[in-house]
Amino acid sequence: MSPSSDKLSKSYRSIEKAVNGFGRYRKRWEVLLSWGRFGAIGITPLLLWLLLDWAFEFPLLVLFGSFVVVAVVAIVALLKWVVVPPWRRVRRDHEANVIEELHGKLNNRIIGSLQLGGEVLAEKVDEASSSPPMIRTLVTRTAELLAETKLKTLLDLRRTWKFLGVAAVVLAGYGSLVHYAPQVYQDRYFRTIEGYYTLLDLLFPVDFEVSPGDRRIVRGDAIELRVKVIGARRDEVKLVRIFEETGENVTEVLKLKNDSAAITFEGDGTAANFRYRFEYANE
């Protein structure tokens, strides 16, 4: 390799190294910007949803429907701003164009040096239409110019820091709830599940089988009240007894086993007349 070719090769590699280094640096900050967007935009609706339901307790169907909306927003944001950006490849020619655009005074020197210099090194230059000495001079001067330029300072990182700051505030909000009001998460979880069950109950109503129905017994005798909830999605049912003499309501919560539950009353439990009903999901 001639001295001129060796100098061209070193200058060419120097340009490639500078451009690729800038590309990796820009990618890191682009990833941080995307993560900041996710924290500032993607999960903020979910935090607002938690706080609003904590404060006002939405109707269960509204709660579940709004949760689906904020969950979809969070998932799309996760894919777009967290999962995908780290996999973006650093493309040399694209980064060269970015540098030239940000710098404003390079006038295609970098992309020209990379393309023409590569052709000279590969000995693919048509000397009738191009001048190898001029290309060597272009590549050498471009390499020197890049060596003198602090490429990292071309990036404006203010927007990234703003998004990261907002994301930090949002994450602090989540953390504050964990520390000061952890029941908010647990309550929202159970209420959302209940909202889902309520929707299913509307679409696919359950059927009751109750026994023994309306029955007269001797005061103090034993009686077993049974219920079967066909298609039950919850694991409990309520028995409400209304005593006719006092008007008092007494409620017992019964656990369902194989969609069925039973309870026996005797003695004082059957000493007064009462009407009863079973409730499932406040129905």
pLDDT in tens, 159-215: 999 999 999 999 999 999 999 999 999 999 999 999 999 999 999 999 999 999 888
Q: How far apart are CA 24 and CA 89, in angstroms?
A: 9
The pLDDT, as a whole number, for residue 21 is 97
Q: What percent of the chain has pLDDT over 70?
A: 95
SS3 call for 40: helix
SS3 call for 218: coil
For 44, residues 6+ apart whose C-beta sits below 8 A from its C-beta are 170
For 235, residues 6+ apart whose C-beta sits below 8 A from its C-beta are 255, 256
The pLDDT, as a whole number, for residue 282 is 62
What's 250's DSSP letter? Answer: E
The pLDDT, as a whole number, for residue 271 is 86
Confidence of residue 24 (pLDDT cuts 50, 70, 90): very high
Average per-residue pLDDT in the chain?
A: 92
The pLDDT, as a whole number, for residue 219 is 83
- Length of the chain in terms of residues written: 283
The pLDDT, as a whole number, for residue 180 is 97
The pLDDT, as a whole number, for residue 5 is 76
The pLDDT, as a whole number, for residue 3 is 66
The pLDDT, as a whole number, for residue 7 is 87
Whether the CB-CB separation of 34 and 165 falls below 8 Å is answered with: no
What sign has the CA pseudo-torsion 212, 214, 217, 219?
positive
Q: How far apart are CA 85 and CA 32, in angstroms?
A: 9
Confidence of residue 124 (pLDDT cuts 50, 70, 90): low
The pLDDT, as a whole number, for residue 4 is 66
Quickly list DSSP for 8-34. HHHHHHHHHHHHHHHHHHHHHHHHHHH
**135 pLDDT higher than 70:** yes
